Structure 1
Amino acid sequence: MSQSVPPPGNPFANADGAQPQGDQQPGAFGGPFTPPPAAPVRNNVGLGLVAALVAALVAAGVYGGIAGAIEREIGWAAIGVGFLTGLAAGKAGGRNPVLPVVAAALSLGAVYLGQLLAIAIIVAKELDVSATDMFLKHFDLLTRAWSESKDVMTFLFFALAAFAAFSAARKASA
């Protein structure tokens, strides 16, 4: 058996035996290391607004469906509504300072719609009717029921969703 023995001398030396100079790295080809170009800055407000609106509507449906199925609201679900709305706004729209504010406002609307949907689902179960009919045909009754049942926790969920949306939009755009 034979063992591999490294060649004598510096393995990083150039073909003529000279050592690499200055900022040239051993084994580098074509000179010093240059970083790749920076990614272009996104700034598409329209796309960010549309993405936030779609995310808010989807999140409202999921939030309302969960709350209606278990017949109670959950704080982390309201945070999720805000987070998804803000994430969509920031990722699609970029660094525009309007997007976090709009995402926070949309998350408030999404939590409100989700709470109304939850009430519609709960009432529909008790009356043995369609939750969709309840939501679309008796929206005034749902808003009145929401108004009578609101408490401190309702507004805490609004605040959590708005904060999560604002924060997520700012972080996602970075």
Structure 2
Amino acid sequence: MTQPTPPGQGGQPYGQPQQPYGQQPYGGQQQPYGGQPGYGYPQQPQQPHGQQPYAPFPQQPQPGGFPPPPAPAARNNIGLGVAVALVAALVAAGIYGAIIGATEHEIGWAAVGVGFVVGLAAGKTGGPNPALGALSAVFSLGAVYLGQLIGAAMVIADKTGMAFSDIFFDHFDALQEAWSNDADAMTFVFFAIAAIAAFGGAKRAAQ
């Protein structure tokens, strides 16, 4: 004959119904998975499917996924462009004169280079103002003329043995007269192409 098991010695106590396996209460009433808070940590309220808990920042699609480049700063400093063009004209005149003095010939590509350098300097620093193109052409004319005088003084100094500074500064009137006597049609063609190159260089550099 089977004896009943006393309380506290295995089995269920008298007077309490036995619960199925896996449904025993643990610290209170059991909640379904993902429902109420568990283990004392607050849970965030679930959002409906497809909705975010915060409003996203608006995004603007860009080609290739990169942000647009910053707009270039506008260049419109006429005073700076004129000053830089004048300095470039003086430097170019010295180089042009040295080329003439070394070769004893007027070289067309050198005159083009003078005009282009003057126009490029003006356009890069002064911006797209049309007045800079005209001023660059004027400065290039002066640079070509000054360069030809420097070259003539170098040639005369080499042939006479006189100092370059004496010919260029002390006998400047005689130097101009000698240049005028030697000038021909090609001399003025060099003036024209230098002015055209200066105007075009200023326009291209300002773009």
Q: TM-score under structure 1 normalisation? A: 0.81
From 112, 121, 133, the counterpart of 2:145? 112
Match of 2:38 in 1: none
Backbone CA RMSD of aligned residues: 1.3
Match of 1:122 in 2: 155
Match of 2:128 in 1: 95
- TM-superposed CA distance for 1:97, in Å, is 1.1
Match of 1:146 in 2: 179
Match of 2:115 in 1: 82
Q: Which ranges of 4 or more aligned residues in structure 1 deviate by more than 6 Å?
A: none
- TM-superposed CA distance for 1:90, in Å, is 0.4
- TM-superposed CA distance for 1:132, in Å, is 2.1
Match of 1:52 in 2: 85
**Identical positions, percent:** 58
Match of 1:32 in 2: 61
Match of 2:28 in 1: none
Match of 2:30 in 1: none
Tell me how far apart the structure 1 counterparts of residues 71 and 165 of structure 2 sit (CA, whole Å): 48
Tell me how far apart the structure 2 counterparts of residues 162 and 31 of structure 1 sit (CA, whole Å): 48
- How many aligned residue pairs are there? 146
- Is 1:167 aligned to 2:200, yes or no? yes
Tell me how far apart the structure 2 counterparts of residues 155 and 164 of structure 1 sit (CA, whole Å): 14
Tell me how far apart the structure 2 counterparts of residues 167 and 31 of structure 1 sit (CA, whole Å): 40
Structure 2 regions of 5+ residues with no counterpart?
A: 1-58
Structure 1 regions of 5+ residues with no counterpart?
A: 1-29
Deviations for 1:82-141, whole angstroms, at most 9, x for unmatched residues? 000000000010111110000000000000000000110000011112212211111101
Match of 1:69 in 2: 102
Larger relative contact order (CA 8 Å, sep ≥ 6): 1
- TM-superposed CA distance for 1:31, in Å, is 4.8
- Could you tell me which amino acid in structure 1 is paired with residue 110 of structure 2? A
Deviations for 1:21-63, whole angstroms, at most 9, x for unmatched residues? xxxxxxxxx5522411210110000110011000000000000
